[in-house]
Amino acid sequence: MSIHIGAKPGDIAETVFIAGDPLRAKYMANKYLSDVSCYNEVRGMYGYTGNYQGKRISVQGTGMGIPSTAIYVNELIREYQVKTLVRIGSCGSLQPHIKLYDLVVGMSASTDSSINKLQFNGMDFAACADFGLLHKAYTFAEQQKFPVKVGHILSTDVFYDEDPEAWKLWSRYGVLAVEMESNCLYTLAAKYGIQALSLLTVSDSLVTKEAISSEEREKSFDQMMQTALSLLG
Ligand code: HPA
């Protein structure tokens, strides 16, 4: 038992998919896994373990933002010996060519969060994905003809920014999309020597101001989940 995850040792698989929304974790577990058991309900942050084509896998909600995600990622790695973490999330496009429903694979994750500077005594750590997972995910998504894009992402601490144009700085530097979690996932994976990757579906665009509805959101996540499942084994 850790502080925020009420699972016993061995309840959680070595590979865990993490989603900001615990109901997405539930949706994924019920849709894709067999022999599913729920190992966590603490704070409504559901976690499930089951099988996919004979492989054991867990799916865990993390909540939104770096602080909440960092709590679950720390506990999964330190208390439950998790070795591979794949985020399945949503993001907002920062580029005209990144469209709604596109699958964005986060190669690196910049941040405006002070967590990076706190950890590295005022210096910056370049948080990046595991290349093996990235290569595998990209190859699978290309084969499936999913609209996949690989590149830089931004993990912001601020959803409702004081300056509504603040995203344009990151856009000018070629950052594809914004979300709120991957930077800490990649940094913690580096710290503990495990593998991590973020797969993101574009749910809105800061460029065009379009957004997909919450029902459409659920359906459009399937291409991302299939890509995540292709990483098993
Ligand atoms: N901003 C930050 N995080 C997000 C967004 C966004 O527009 N869309 C999905 N996650």
Domain residue ranges in the chain? 15-230
- DSSP assignment string, 164-214: TTTHHHHHHTT--EEESSHHHHHHHHHHHT-EEEEEEEEEEETTT--B--H
Q: Whose CA is nearest to atom 3 of ligand 1?
A: 179
Q: Residue 176's CB: how many other CB atoms inside 10 A?
A: 25
- pLDDT for residue 217: 75
Domain 15-230 coded CATH 3.40.50.1580: yes
Q: Whose CA is nearest to atom 6 of ligand 1?
A: 92
Nearest-atom number in ligand 1 for the CA of 180 is 3
Distance 225 CA to ligand 1 centre (A): 19
Distance 93 CA to ligand 1 centre (A): 8
- pLDDT for residue 83: 98
* Overall residue count recorded for the chain in this entry: 233
pLDDT in tens, 42-95: 999 999 999 999 999 999 999 999 999 999 999 999 999 999 999 999 999 999
Angle between helices 222-229 and 22-32 (to 10 degrees): 70
